[in-house]
């Protein structure tokens, strides 16, 4: 390999080194700006957000929030609880959580999400 490198002309050697530096620098710049790091982080977040432990925790939070909704008539409190339900579901697949809930809680969450999206439940 060394002899092959020595047999190349000086111009080709400079071009090869420049190409390696440009590609390596570009990859490093992409990593530092978060292009690759962000993609890897998104994969890790998705794995966590849809893990059985997290899905179970979200289901418990939703059950608690729906119980609170059933106990209050204050419009401000209800709006806050609706927001909380939307935040709980923001990064977790609803289809995974829905399997763990009683039908009344599913209806409660669907109504809260309809309110959050501006639909009339």
Least Cα distance to 56 among 42, 13, 64 occurs for 64
Instruction: Give the pLDDT band of residue 10 (cuts 50, 70, 90).
Output: confident
| Residue 4 predicted with pLDDT over 80 | no
Q: How many domains does the chain have?
A: 2
Of 53, 62, 74, 72, the closest CA to residue 107 belongs to 62
pLDDT at 100 over 90: yes
Q: Report yes or no on 58 lying in a domain.
A: yes
- Contact by Cβ (8 Å): 104, 71: no
pTM, 2 dp = 0.64
pLDDT given for residue 35 in this prediction: 64
Percentage of residues in the chain having pLDDT higher than 70: 81
Q: Which domain holds residue 112?
A: 50-116
Residue 45 domain-assigned (yes or no): no
Helix boundaries (H) for 33-117: 35-49, 52-71, 75-89, 94-98, 103-116
20 has pLDDT over 70: yes
Please give the mean pLDDT across all residues of the chain.
84
Residue 30 has pLDDT above 80, yes or no: no
121 occurs within a structural domain: no
Q: What is the predicted pLDDT for the residue at 80?
A: 93
Phi, psi of 13 (to 5 degrees): -60, -45
pLDDT at 68 over 70: yes
Question: Are 58 and 112 in the same domain?
Answer: yes
């Amino acid at each position: 390999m060394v002899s092959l490198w020595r047999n190349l002309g000086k111009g080709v050697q400079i071009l090869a080194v420049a190409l390696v530096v440009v590609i390596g620098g570009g990859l490093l710049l992409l990593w530092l700006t978060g292009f690759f790091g962000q993609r890897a982080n998104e994969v890790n977040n998705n794995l966590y957000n849809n893990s059985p432990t997290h899905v179970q925790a979200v289901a418990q939070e939703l059950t608690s929030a729906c119980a609170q909704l059933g106990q209050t008539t204050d419009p401000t409190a209800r709006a806050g609880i609706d927001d909380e339900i939307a935040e709980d579901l923001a990064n977790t697949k609803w289809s995974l959580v829905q399997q763990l809930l009683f039908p009344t809680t599913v209806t409660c969450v669907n109504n809260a999400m309809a309110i959050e999206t501006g639909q009339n439940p």
